[in-house]
Structures are given as structure tokens and as C-alpha cells.
């Protein structure tokens, strides 16, 4: 099996954008407005997973405030440290009950060896998704964002991401915001660069909201 394609730098982003524009000309206008999207790569590993869980379903501003608190209190954000905290203590840091349980499930899996994060670099997307979503509280979105931002996989498409749905509706002039099934269908022709498409559309979403573009 061929190793998974990685978006390692601007050259990969440029290649991906050029390919996407050929198969979907509407990406051309988006790319002109946004410029080359930021890679927004995050370090892989347990800490990266915790941050993604923290960011689920809340605003960027709220997530940043909660994560700053977590990073300070749970330093060095390793499984042993997380397991040393009670459920109620994790909630006091700003996590919901669901996310606190997810933190502990991830910590137990990594500490016990059933979630071999150190091997993820060599595993296919589907196997990583299977391992992650087998854990309490870890859904497809968390797995997909980890693949995209922490591992740099080139063909990941977080179809259930609300910002992406809104960006697609606005950019493509759709009357109704597409659901995850429609998002997956729409993106089929964008393989093997769906993660570049996601970055372009997230950049478009920031323009929609009047937010500054993300930086690397």
C-alpha cells in the first residue's frame, strides 16, 4: 500500500489548489479572494487530540480560553496527568461532562497501549479513524480534524464541520446548507485534495465572518 499523501508545505497547497480549480472552477474565485490558505498544522500526539476535543462545538474564542486553562493546569498534558484528575476537576477547567469523559477515555487508551499514537504516521486514514472513534466521545469530526491538522493528510474531508457547511452554501450559492451526506457527495470529485478544499473553504468562511485569515 502506498503511503498516505501529506501536505507538507506551500508547494503541496499550490498543487492542490491548481488541481481543484481544474475540477471545480468556482474554487478559482475563492482562491483569488483568500490567497493560499495557511497550513495550520498542529503537532501530532496526545496533547493535539486533547485540544481538538476541547474545540468541539464551541467558538474559537471560547476554545482558546478553555485550552489556555487546561494547558496550564494539566501540564505537560500527558495521559498520566489527565488520569490523575477526577471527572469533576476536569469539568471545572471548562470541559463539558461529555468532553471530560472523552479526555479520560483517550488517556486510558494511550496509557494502556490500545491507542498507539506513535504508529499513526504509518497507518491509513481509515484505520486511524476506526481506532479513534472506538473510544467514548470521539466522533468522526475529531478523527478527521486530527488527520488533517496534526498528521497533514491530503484527502481528509470533515463533512460534518458546521463552518465548512456554511462556507459551501455561501460560496456555491446554495439555497439550503448541505448536510454531511451531501457534503461527502459534493467533495467526491475533489479527491485526492479534499483537505486543501477544506482549507480553502475555511478561509472563505473567515472572509464571510469578517475574521482575519489564519496564520501558520
Given CA atoms 177, 182, 183, 185 in this order, what sign does their dihedral have? negative
The whole-number pLDDT of residue 187 equals 98
Q: 22 in a domain, yes or no?
A: yes
Q: 117 in a domain, yes or no?
A: yes
The whole-number pLDDT of residue 6 equals 94
- In this model, does residue 2 exceed pLDDT 80? no
pTM of the model: 0.94
Give 69's pLDDT tier (boundaries 50, 70, 90): very high
Interatomic CA distance for residues 2 and 128, integer angstroms: 16
CATH number of the domain within which 83 lies: 1.10.340.30
Same domain, 82 and 139: yes
For the stretch 71-88, pLDDT in tens is: 999 999 999 999 999 999
The whole-number pLDDT of residue 1 equals 62
Same domain, 123 and 198: no
Same domain, 103 and 185: no
Number of compact structural domains in the chain = 2
Q: 184 in a domain, yes or no?
A: yes
Which residues make beta-bridge pairs with 6? 153
Give 3's pLDDT tier (boundaries 50, 70, 90): confident
Same domain, 53 and 35: no
Domain that holds residue 165: 10-40+156-209
Q: 194 in a domain, yes or no?
A: yes
Take residue 129 and report the three cell numbers written for it. Answer: 479513524
The whole-number pLDDT of residue 137 equals 86
Q: 161 in a domain, yes or no?
A: yes
Domain boundary among 150, 174, 189: 150
Residue with the three cell numbers 496534526? 150
For the stretch 134-158, pLDDT in tens is: 998 899 999 999 999 999 999 999 9
What integer is the mean pLDDT of 204-208?
94
- In this model, does residue 164 exceed pLDDT 70? yes
CATH number of the domain within which 203 lies: 1.10.1670.40
Q: Are the C-beta atoms of residues 20 and 190 closer than 8 Å to each other? A: yes
Amino acid at each position: 500500500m502506498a503511503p498516505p499523501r501529506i501536505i507538507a508545505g506551500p508547494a503541496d497547497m499550490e498543487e492542490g489548489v491548481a488541481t481543484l480549480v481544474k475540477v471545480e472552477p468556482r474554487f478559482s474565485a475563492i482562491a483569488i479572494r483568500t490567497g493560499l490558505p495557511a497550513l495550520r498544522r498542529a503537532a501530532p500526539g496526545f496533547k493535539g487530540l486533547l485540544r481538538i476535543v476541547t474545540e468541539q462545538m464551541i467558538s474559537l474564542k471560547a476554545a482558546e480560553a478553555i485550552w489556555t486553562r487546561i494547558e496550564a493546569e494539566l501540564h505537560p498534558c500527558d495521559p498520566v496527568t489527565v488520569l490523575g484528575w477526577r471527572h469533576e476537576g476536569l469539568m471545572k477547567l471548562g470541559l463539558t461532562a461529555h468532553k471530560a469523559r472523552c479526555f479520560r477515555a483517550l488517556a486510558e487508551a494511550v496509557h494502556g497501549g490500545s491507542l498507539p499514537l506513535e504508529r499513526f504516521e504509518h497507518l491509513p486514514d481509515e484505520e486511524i479513524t476506526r481506532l479513534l472513534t472506538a473510544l467514548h466521545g470521539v466522533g468522526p469530526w475529531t478523527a478527521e480534524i486530527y488527520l488533517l491538522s496534526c498528521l497533514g493528510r491530503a484527502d481528509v474531508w470533515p463533512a460534518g464541520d458546521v463552518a465548512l457547511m456554511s462556507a459551501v452554501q455561501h460560496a456555491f450559492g446554495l439555497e439550503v446548507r448541505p448536510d454531511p451526506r451531501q457534503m461527502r457527495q459534493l467533495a467526491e470529485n475533489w479527491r485526492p485534495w479534499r483537505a486543501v478544499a477544506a482549507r480553502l473553504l475555511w478561509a472563505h468562511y473567515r472572509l464571510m465572518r469578517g475574521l482575519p485569515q489564519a496564520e501558520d
